[in-house]
Amino acid sequence: MSWTEIVIEIARDHAEALSEALMDVGALSVSVEDADEGTDAEKPLFGEPGMEPTEAAWDHSRVVALTDEDDDQAVIVAAAAGQIGLATLPKFTTRKVEEQDWVRLTQSQFAPIHIGKNIWVVPSWHEAPDANGLILELDPGLAFGTGSHPTTRLCMEWLEANPAPGKTVLDYGCGSGILAMVAKKVGAGEVVGVDIDPQAIESAADNAQRNKCEIAYFLPDTFAQSQHAAQRFDIVVANILSSPLKLMAPMLSGRVADGGALILSGVLARQAEEVAAAYAPFIKLGVWAEQDGWVALHGRLGSDVVPAAR
C-alpha cells in the first residue's frame, strides 16, 4: 500500500486552521514544519514548562498532509481552503510515500550511544558493544532522556566521574529516569525521581524495572506527601531548562544535604551566569563542563568556593 503527501507552504496565520481543515476533509494525518528549516531563517520553537508556544507554527510554515493514494489531492486542498475561507487556493505539491517496515526503519535510526568512559545506552533490539560497560537498556519513548542530548550526557558524565556509593540521590525532572539509573548503577543507595508528567513517571518506572534498578518515582504532589517530604539528599540533579531552574532555586537548594552536591543542566552557556546568580544565596555554582553550547553547573552546599570547570 502507498500514500500521497500533500505539501503546502503557507503563512503562520493560516497554518493551524488549515491543518485542522485538512483533517476534517479526509487527510489521515497532518504535521506543521518550519519551511525555513536548514536555512539562516530557521526559527526553533522552545516550550519550557509554563512558557509553551501558543501554536506550533512558524512565520513561514509548511503543512504536510498524508492522504490515501487514490484520493483526489486537489479536491482535498480546495475543500480545506474553502472551509477556512481562503480567498485563493494555496499552491501545493505532492509526493509519494511507499509502504515500508516502519518499525525496522525507526529502529535503524537508534544505535547504542557511548557516554563518558564506560556508559552505554543500548536500545532493546541491539547487543551491548561492551558487555563490561555500565549498560542501560533504554528505548526511545515519550519521556525525555535517551543520552543523545548534550544536557543528559553532561549529567551522566558527572555522575560517572563522581560515584556515590551508598549516598542518597534525587533526580528532579527525571523524564525517562536515565540519570537516576546511572546514579544507582554507580553505587548510590536510595534514589528518588520526580517529574510533573505522569507519562514520564510511568516510563521511568518501567525503565528502572527493566534495568533492575530500585528507584522510587513520584509526581510533585505525591512526593511532597511521601516519606521523602522533608528529606535532603547527598546529590540532587536537575536536567530541566533555565527558566524553571531559576524559579526552583530555593526548593532545589533546600533539598541538598550539608556538604552535598547540586548538578544542574538544561542551561545554555550564555545562561550559566544568570542561573548561577539565582542559586548564589543558597549554594555557589560553577560550570563543570560544556558540550555543544550547553553546560552543566555544579556546587557543594556549605562551600564558599565556586567550583572550577572540568
Distance between CA atoms of residues 37 and 258, nearest Å: 47
Residues 288 and 153 in one domain: yes
Cell (9 digits) for 266: 538544561
Residues 61 and 163 in one domain: no
* DSSP secondary structure of 62-75: EEEEEEETTS-HHH
Cell (9 digits) for 295: 553546560
Residues 70 and 181 in one domain: no
Residues 165 and 280 in one domain: yes
By C-alpha distance, which of 258, 154, 137, 297 is closest to 207? 137
| pLDDT of 309 | 79
Residues 175 and 297 in one domain: yes
Amino acid at 283: I
Q: Which residue has the cell 530500585?
A: 214
Cell (9 digits) for 137: 537498556
**Is residue 114 in a domain?**
no
Which helix H or strand E contains 24, and what residues bound it?
helix 12-24
**Is residue 121 in a domain?**
no
Residues 175 and 277 in one domain: yes
Amino acid at 35: A
**Is residue 117 in a domain?**
no
CATH number at residue 57: 3.30.70
Distance between CA atoms of residues 182 and 264, nearest Å: 16
| pLDDT of 55 | 56
Q: Which domain holds residue 269?
A: 148-301
Q: Which residue has the cell 552546599?
A: 301
**Is residue 56 in a domain?**
yes
Q: Is 195 annotated as a binding residue?
A: yes
If one counts the domains in the chain, the total is 2
242 Cα distance to chain centroid: 14
223 in helix, strand or coil? helix
Q: Is 152 annotated as a binding residue?
A: yes
Residues 55 and 193 in one domain: no
**Is residue 105 in a domain?**
no
Instruction: With beta carbons less than 8 A apart as the criterion, state whether 208 and 232 touch.
Output: no
**Is residue 28 in a domain?**
yes
**Is residue 289 in a domain?**
yes
Cell (9 digits) for 283: 549554594
Distance between CA atoms of residues 283 and 235, nearest Å: 13
Cell (9 digits) for 185: 548503577
Residues 45 and 165 in one domain: no
**Number of other CB atoms surrounding residue 301 within 10 Å:** 19
Residues 153 and 263 in one domain: yes
Cell (9 digits) for 187: 553505587
Q: Which residue has the cell 497554518?
A: 15
Provide block-wise average pLDDT over 10 residues at a time, the chain (310 residues).
89 91 94 82 57 62 93 95 92 85 55 90 84 87 70 95 94 95 96 94 94 96 95 97 95 97 96 97 96 95 82
**Is residue 273 in a domain?**
yes
Distance between CA atoms of residues 159 and 150, nearest Å: 14
| pLDDT of 80 | 96
Which residues, at least 6 apart from 152, have a Cβ–Cβ distance to it below 8 Å? 144, 145, 146, 178, 179, 239, 265
Residues 71 and 191 in one domain: no
Residues 155 and 17 in one domain: no
Cell (9 digits) for 84: 477556512
Distance between CA atoms of residues 141 and 156, nearest Å: 19
Residues 166 and 92 in one domain: no
CATH number at residue 280: 3.40.50.150
